[in-house]
Structure 1
């Protein structure tokens, strides 16, 4: 029997889960000794619950990946149908489900552009190995080695992806070579002494070009950047920045990779973030797009690289030296078809855009007006962050102890939050309703008042 708030499984199952977890499960990014993970028994839509039936509003989307919500019937049905046809097949074989999934992804990636910018998809097991393979493609096509990425970034926990990452997690893992970091725009905490979005854009682009020149443009294969940096703080780039990066990449013969693992497939109110950030109807397109998470809301592990015709053609005669046993796994492909079809038919991406513009964004701004602890609110779609400070004038980040207190309060009030450093990331599923947003805003209000 599935656990629900109305019909929980045996009352001791939560304790059994915790005992088995602590006895046998090794957790990521954690010191193992003192862990006591929250137990989740089930979920539906924007809510999860434990074995006792205690319900939480999931405004974390787990790891900002459950875009379509928990247990969407359309995705479940697609996976179940594929189970009866073919559960697995090697990547060297043709497979109808894989072809249909690729076709759907390319249809979304090419929207908003007058011509077809993307032609093929290489499927991976997740976002990290999507970035690994995009980097590999750029290096092979250009014959260059270096990869530039920002300090405020996260690209995954595999060899090159973790070194491309800018935050602390790369430091114990710096075994890959050829990686250089630069500062991207972040107007609220500017590295460039900027006093406006326009200055931040201009100075960030100048900084990037100087890094390119100083490293030797002839040595740089790729610029890898999250279109909207997620874990690092949901920093929507200023107007003109993406176009400026594209121009620099073209000027110096560098391949541009947009990491859309977290920002893609509805999160920003568009199919991809680079489409949401179109300016005057013009979409800034990269050479490669990496994706995972929202493409099927994490129901089955999957990721991939969307490839431009130019890069794809480079491997028409030359062998691409990469592959994965589960590349394009049929069950994962079916989950993509189910998710993207449902998102399209049910207007889920449009809902995320409307929620951000009409409900969530204005609601967070009202919270900021009431609470001095909120230094900045930024985002779009269902991808927002509240930057919390102990002093608005100095913008001093709220201390870790206070953030832990806030997280505990949010949990006690019935919310599963996403708390990162001094920020609360407001990242519900794309299916979230007006009523659920209002419920969440009330919870944030009460929790912030407790500080």
Structure 2
């Protein structure tokens, strides 16, 4: 028996049958979404939302981009799926395009289904290449929800999931809440690097396979590293023969106003992981960009890893169409321009107006607004007020990305000035009510 589709029907279907991630199941009240286009989404009652979250910071090209949808449909009509051991046109074209945005000396792409398994396989490559075991990563990080990726993650979700071995954490720079009593960015940078050197020395450099770092930690608070930090990490990796893996899953493919976030820090890693923005998640895809020396190592050494859907043709067609559309339509430049000229200044103006804002930081269309109940003490705004902020924004038709005491402002990279102004006005209004 068929049901008329409505918000109520979809909501009840979800609550009866769907088990959700990162949540206590009984307390859930998921938002119902029926469709979308560009930066807008709507429910079955026709209620519209401006997407200021890019979902999980992945719909960089916006919703239902016609060129990407057409590419998926065309690929589905000719070959919907094929095993990864075969040669496939779209897989080759996708890898070629991805590498055109990598630093020099990157040779191959290993495709995965998401960012988590991209990080899993990058760690695997580093361990095999070095013959070492330990992976160093930051406490303020998120690298995915799977076996080793969640243990490499620093945030508290790691703690109930610690089943992988060989993981060590260190503090990355975060001046606003400095672990190093630093007075400015330069001091934060030098002290963070000194701390990392001590961790390497104490763990035994010859036991460390890789340092895994998000170019700009995303979920942890959009922590733009101080000038010189990533270069300093690269120098430490070189000194001790450690592989440097930069996680560009959230920060890559236009989000920061450059093709990759690392482009803005003059750093060349050994492995780069990606997912999300590479095709805006239209079909799940991720991967590892592999530098020449590591790629050449596996020319004569077996790689013990693989996935049934690695380089899935529908996902690959979506990547090719996404990267082509981003280039043709100047979407990366748009992210840089809107961030620099409109969104960044707009958020700073809100900080001048509202004492609840402790700090605003970001690049491109990748911003965090840190909310505090006391500016002097930098006391995080309590969870109850953050919940009020979130519901207030939803009531005003803005779909926000709220993490702990922060509002992450991360709209699609295609957003235009009027929509940015609309979003800023909603944030301004809700902050006024708090």
Which bin holds the TM-score, normalised by the shorter protein?
over 0.9
Which of 423, 426, 432 pairs up with 2:409?
A: 426
Distance in 2, matches of 1:314 and 1:405, equals 53
Distance in 2, matches of 1:204 and 1:34, equals 40
Which of 297, 301, 310 pairs up with 2:293?
A: 310
Q: 1:309 Cα shift?
A: 0.6
Structure 2: which 5+ residue stretches go unaligned? Answer: none
Q: 1:109 Cα shift?
A: 1.2
Instruction: Please state whether the residue corresponding to 2:280 is helix, strand or coil.
Output: coil
Distance in 2, matches of 1:449 and 1:109, equals 44
Q: 1:256 Cα shift?
A: 0.2
Which of 211, 228, 235 pairs up with 2:199?
A: 211
Instruction: Please state whether the residue corresponding to 2:386 is helix, strand or coil.
Output: helix
1:246 aligns with 2:228: no
Give a deviation string over 1:93-126, Cα, whole Å, max 9, x none: 111110000000000113xxxxx22110000010
Contact 1:11 1:51 in 2 (8 A): no
Partner of 1:295: 278
1:34 aligns with 2:27: yes
Partner of 1:264: 252
Q: 1:12 Cα shift?
A: 4.8
Give the TM-score of the pair, scaled to structure 1: 0.95
Partner of 1:7: none
Contact 1:11 1:52 in 2 (8 A): no
Distance in 2, matches of 1:178 and 1:217, equals 13
Instruction: Please state whether the residue corresponding to 1:206 is helix, strand or coil.
Output: helix
The 5 A counterparts of 1:324-343 are: 324-343=307-326
1:447 aligns with 2:430: yes
Partner of 1:184: 172
Distance in 2, matches of 1:175 and 1:407, equals 34
Paired residue total: 432
Give the TM-score of the pair, scaled to structure 2: 0.99
Distance in 1, matches of 2:261 and 2:4, equals 43
Distance in 2, matches of 1:296 and 1:117, equals 24
1:17 aligns with 2:10: yes
Which of 350, 360, 371 pairs up with 1:388?
A: 371
The alignment yields a C-alpha RMSD, in angstroms, of 0.8
Partner of 1:4: none
Q: 1:11 Cα shift?
A: 7.0
Distance in 1, matches of 2:72 and 2:203, equals 47
Partner of 1:136: 124
Give a deviation string over 1:196-255, Cα, whole Å, max 9, x none: 000000000000000000000000000000000000000000000010000000000000
Q: 1:359 Cα shift?
A: 0.3
Instruction: Please state whether the residue corresponding to 1:314 is helix, strand or coil.
Output: helix
Which of 103, 111, 133 pairs up with 1:145?
A: 133
Distance in 1, matches of 2:178 and 2:415, equals 32
Distance in 2, matches of 1:225 and 1:294, equals 18
Q: 1:85 Cα shift?
A: 1.5
Instruction: Please state whether the residue corresponding to 1:344 is helix, strand or coil.
Output: helix
1:414 aligns with 2:402: no
Give a deviation string over 1:298-345, Cα, whole Å, max 9, x none: 000000000001001111111100000000010000000010000000
Q: 1:162 Cα shift?
A: 0.3
1:320 aligns with 2:320: no
Distance in 1, matches of 2:181 and 2:78, equals 59
Q: 1:14 Cα shift?
A: 1.3
Distance in 1, matches of 2:43 and 2:109, equals 38
Contact 1:225 1:259 in 2 (8 A): yes
1:121 aligns with 2:104: no
The 5 A counterparts of 1:197-208 are: 197-208=185-196
Give a deviation string over 1:344-398, Cα, whole Å, max 9, x none: 0000000000011100000000000000000000000000000000000000000
Contact 1:45 1:69 in 2 (8 A): yes
Distance in 2, matches of 1:364 and 1:41, equals 30
Partner of 1:113: none
Structure 1: which 5+ residue stretches go unaligned? Answer: 1-9, 111-115
Runs of 4+ in 1 over 4 A off after TM superposition: none
The 5 A counterparts of 1:345-424 are: 345-424=328-407
Distance in 1, matches of 2:422 and 2:350, equals 13
Instruction: Please state whether the residue corresponding to 2:26 is helix, strand or coil.
Output: coil
1:59 aligns with 2:75: no
Contact 1:117 1:285 in 2 (8 A): no
Distance in 2, matches of 1:445 and 1:33, equals 33
